[in-house]
Amino acid sequence: MSSELVWEKRQFGHRARLALTPAQVRLMDDQAHVARAMWNQLHDLWRMTPKCQRSLSRLDQTLRQARKEIDWYAALPAQAAQAVLKTYMQAWKNCWDGRADEPTFKARIRSVMSVDIPQGRDLQIKRVHRRWGMVNVPKVGRVRFRWTKDLPVGKAAHKDNRITGARLVKDALGWHIAFRVQTLELKPEPHTGGEVGIDAGVNLPLALSDGNHQDHGRPPRLPDGSADRDKWLNPDEKAKLIRLERRAAHRKSFRKPRERGSKRLHATYDQIKQLRARATRRAVDWQHRTTTAIAKQYSTVVVEQLHITNMVKSAKGTLEEPGKNVAQKSGLNRSISQEAWGRTVTLLTYKTARHGGTLVKVPAPNTSLRCSACGFITPGSREDQATFLCKNPDCGWEGNADHNASRNVLHLYRMGHALIPAAGRAVARRTRGVKPATAR
């Protein structure tokens, strides 16, 4: 009996590196600065206007008048300027709904330079080489970009399979373009793989309950016990980073208080940012490859419900009650932040759905303290960060601490302790007649 094919719309983004000439870089920088200035103008107007008089039409009228009176505002296309207004209003809606903080003033140095292209038809994308494509950027011209993914262009593009827009973003490695793609794909069949519990750790990045652990092969800590901030850089890049940091410290010593740094100092900072961005890109690439492999292999992926913000809080305490082991806790916080557990869960969430699987969260308390063999919590079983040795006289199970936690995570799901979002919060669901995790 043949099953009926079900099609569904899917929206995703694809980011590609741009190859710009120096003149094109200047034009795109000018557009980004104009977009930032428009945001700040809208923010000032919103703050100065009484609440009873705030409206979208008033902001739109002010923005149009500013484009007529300020000459250098013409560097930004009109549609991109309207996208700034739309993004600003959406930021306030996110704030009112409790999803984000209030919009703030965008400083010249700390803000991310970006320009939106809301209309996909303005891009005129064409593939010219196996590795390169061409895209039209308004008021910049034809620009080459790195072709690493097939895009719906030419005859393959239609109403349900097209590029709806793009966004230009600049980071330490240069300008990139993020395409917004809408496609029509077959709804995936239910995944036939098995179930797996995952524990995110520091010594072992992703420990799986079946022993198929995922390790990026880079130690999280140095021999002296401190956190390795640059584990994604090779030895030559680490040596170069040390030289640049020393050079920046030397040049900074000549700067007087409240005096702007020299061009040489900022050039050194840019080189440091490039190395940091390269390390971040490698870490994200490893996460994408690993989460894709997990989503293809397993039908149900079980993870812990972690509150990472609380986990990385400082331990220095107050003057009345100073904290203990502050330096050690700071190193652990850096290691947790580098592993980016939240991003791993986000990637697994949509990738498991794409392959017909599901991602489930379970309560995190005591998953690392409970023995996965006997189910008891015995004091002293977790003596260090890497090893778990059950002190129960009737058990004595020994193994990797993260592997033990991943087995507990999977067992909680099988016992019915999955967290289901309800009314905007997570509640525990437990099968009737089943007790919490005890002896196996």
Say what angle helices 78-96 and 56-69 make with each other, to 10 degrees. 150
Helix (H) or strand (E) holding 337: helix 326-339
Quick: pLDDT tens for 225-271: 666 778 899 999 999 999 999 999 999 998 888 888 889 999 999 99
Tokens 């870089």 sit at which residue?
25
Query: In the predicted model, what is the mean pLDDT of residues 173-193?
Result: 90
Quick: pLDDT tens for 306-362: 888 877 777 777 667 777 777 777 777 787 888 888 899 999 999 999 999 999 999
pLDDT given for residue 429 in this prediction: 41
Helix (H) or strand (E) holding 400: strand 398-400
Quick: pLDDT tens for 390-404: 888 888 888 888 888
Quick: pLDDT tens for 156-168: 788 888 999 999 9
Give the Cα separation of 285 and 232 in Å (integer).
11
pLDDT given for residue 138 in this prediction: 93
Give the Cα separation of 419 and 345 in Å (integer).
14
Give the Cα separation of 197 and 180 in Å (integer).
33
Query: In the predicted model, what is the mean pLDDT of residues 63-69?
Result: 89
Q: Residue 299, SS3?
A: strand
Percentage of residues in the chain having pLDDT higher than 90: 44
* Mean of pLDDT over the chain: 85
- Edge-first strand order for the sheet with 358-363 is 206-208, 194-200, 298-305, 358-363, 418-422, 425-429
Where does the pLDDT of residue 438 fall: very low under 50, low under 70, confident under 90, or very high at 90 and above?
Answer: very low
Of residues 7 and 268, more confidently modeled: 268
Two structure tokens written together for 48: 């100065």
pLDDT given for residue 240 in this prediction: 95
pLDDT given for residue 10 in this prediction: 87
pLDDT given for residue 440 in this prediction: 36
Of the listed ranges 260-269, 282-291, 366-375, 417-426, the one predicted with least confidence: 417-426
Where does the pLDDT of residue 115 fall: very low under 50, low under 70, confident under 90, or very high at 90 and above?
Answer: very high
Give the Cα separation of 92 and 54 in Å (integer).
12
Q: What one-letter code names the amino acid at 401?
A: A
Of residues 295 and 398, more confidently modeled: 295
pLDDT given for residue 223 in this prediction: 65
For residue 382, count CB atoms less than 10 angstroms from its CB and return exposed for 0-12, middle for 13-18, buried for 19 or more: buried
Residue 423 has pLDDT above 50, yes or no: no
Query: In the predicted model, what is the mean pLDDT of residues 115-137?
Result: 92
Count of CA atoms in the C-beta half-sphere (13 A) of 82: 7
Give the Cα separation of 390 and 404 in Å (integer).
10
Of the listed ranges 58-62, 157-161, 236-240, 434-438, the one predicted with least confidence: 434-438
Residue 172 has pLDDT above 80, yes or no: yes
Question: All domains of the chain, ordered by start, with CATH?
Answer: 7-186 (no CATH), 194-222+286-429 (3.30.420)
DSSP string spanning 191-218?
P--EEEEEEE-SSSSEEETTS--B--S-
pLDDT given for residue 197 in this prediction: 92
Residue 114 has pLDDT above 90, yes or no: yes
Residue 436 has pLDDT above 60, yes or no: no
Residue 185 has pLDDT above 60, yes or no: yes
Of 408, 279, 425, give the one whose Cα is nearest residue 340.
279
Where does the pLDDT of residue 17 fall: very low under 50, low under 70, confident under 90, or very high at 90 and above?
Answer: very high
Residue 420 has pLDDT above 70, yes or no: no
Residue 435 has pLDDT above 50, yes or no: no
Quick: pLDDT tens for 79-104: 999 999 999 999 999 999 988 899 99
